[in-house]
């Protein structure tokens, strides 16, 4: 991941990598946003596009995270 703070509590980032599985292993690219609600709680969303030889796949996630 590589990103930048877009506000005091928000961070926009680009993501990339390689996904391994039982079938085909594929590279992916995506982007996401994290927003700190409090010093220990944040909300996050991310989009990923997987580049497959057979069919490309899009995935989106939404989550809540906790910093200790």
Mean pLDDT of 13-38: 93
Mean pLDDT (the chain) is 94
pLDDT band at 9 (very low <50, low <70, confident <90, very high): very high
Long-range CB contact pairs, 39-46, < 8 A, 24+: 39/67, 40/66, 40/67, 40/68, 41/65, 41/66, 41/67, 42/66, 42/67, 46/15
The pLDDT tens digits of the residues spanning 29-56 come to: 999 999 999 999 999 999 999 998 888 8
Locate the domains of the chain by residue range: 2-66
């Amino acid at each position: 991941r590589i990103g930048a703070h877009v506000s005091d509590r928000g961070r926009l980032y680009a993501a990339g990598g390689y996904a391994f599985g039982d079938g085909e292993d594929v590279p992916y690219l995506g982007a996401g946003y994290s927003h700190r609600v409090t010093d220990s709680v944040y909300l996050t969303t991310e989009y990923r596009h997987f580049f497959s030889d057979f069919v490309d796949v899009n995935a989106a996630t939404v989550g809540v995270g906790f910093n200790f």
